[in-house]
Structure 1
């Protein structure tokens, strides 16, 4: 019997139905969680650096975590939205090579799944109060974690199952680029996992190459061949992704976040953060407050 292990799990953050207008207009949005939309009326648009999609009724859309995108609505848009976090056993996202916005035709099962997700997870919307202070993000994330912990086993399992089904709709060969782990050298996979688990430690190409028992130049070329990026750039991107997550889920200062993500000081952290995201840490924090809460 061949066993195939599921390495990726998804936990619910928000689910709700909303009616949006022209105020729903945000540029250069980056979130540490996934966004999934089902449009039932109206029109809008989402885009990333290479793809632009019209939001139209009858379709599902997904934006993977840490995907830079734009969101807009000119007149009116009615949407079901689901926001959720991903966890993986090796720290590598299922969408590591698919940081793009996706669109698929919704099926009857999709619509029933979204309705069921709402039914078994009441009160998981964003706009439950007119007082914005209630949505101070650190309190909000603690609340989300608490709600998930309070779910009984049946609801927790069904919620996870529905999220898996919805994510699976975007994994078809036609739209999903899948790189089999078996095709990637073990030494490169080990290096990727080591990076993910040690972002707070000192990481260098020389150190990674030594662990792989390879010359630094050869290791760097091989790493780029299978990941698409040089090791240093990859390390910086993963550190900034972790920083983004910490910025919206903790009360850490920028200096503390810089230390937790392996940067020697806050100035270098800010420089790399802006280089990768296109905005300063402060502006990113403001954007998350406006878009999500």
Structure 2
């Protein structure tokens, strides 16, 4: 699809496997770019007590993004971000362990504006923040009409890379939660194993920095995903659930012992043209 290409990804912690492929989805306006990826998440502990430190693969963290390449001064851009946490269980030290999805943080921050007409670059937050406005955003825990294509593929990445079996998260489309408007930076939180964040982007050339409405500007934003997983272990005899069946381990019968984290960051650019 014209205008779609991969962008390099920076995987922060932890990283075992890398996957970066384009997302094939329809344009929101004229031109879009897409990028996606994922990484196995590991968690380590010492076992037996006084023994050696070893790791377990506790799940898979995947993310996807789509944004509009270009829009005019009097128009709006859009940025979509999706995140998914695939969890699993394992057996260690005579006990059953498992992970649970906890929370995904989404953050968009303006880091540079370049005047393509004069080739002047601006990086001072006091200047660039006042020219980029994020508004009418929402977080949706399960799926949206526009982003389902992105996260369906993201979900397929998780299943393909891990073999984990999940229920279809789109059987029930959940409602969305509106988020506040913000200049220069916006941070929101999603819950559950799958969530999405979308926001509109407005560019303003007015202010004290001398921006001109006849110039074309290139805006660079940093997208960050931050995910957390709860680590659970069965609680012995109390781990047997008499309602669901003898020996069945459920989150209610165990205890949370730790939290594991994973994160990813990519930089995106879009141009703002004269009206």
TM-score relative to the length of structure 2? 0.25
TM-score relative to the length of structure 1? 0.24
Computing the radius of gyration from Cα coordinates, the structure with the larger value is: 2
Larger relative contact order (Cα-Cα within 8 Å, sequence gap ≥ 6): 2
Greater strand share, structure number: 2
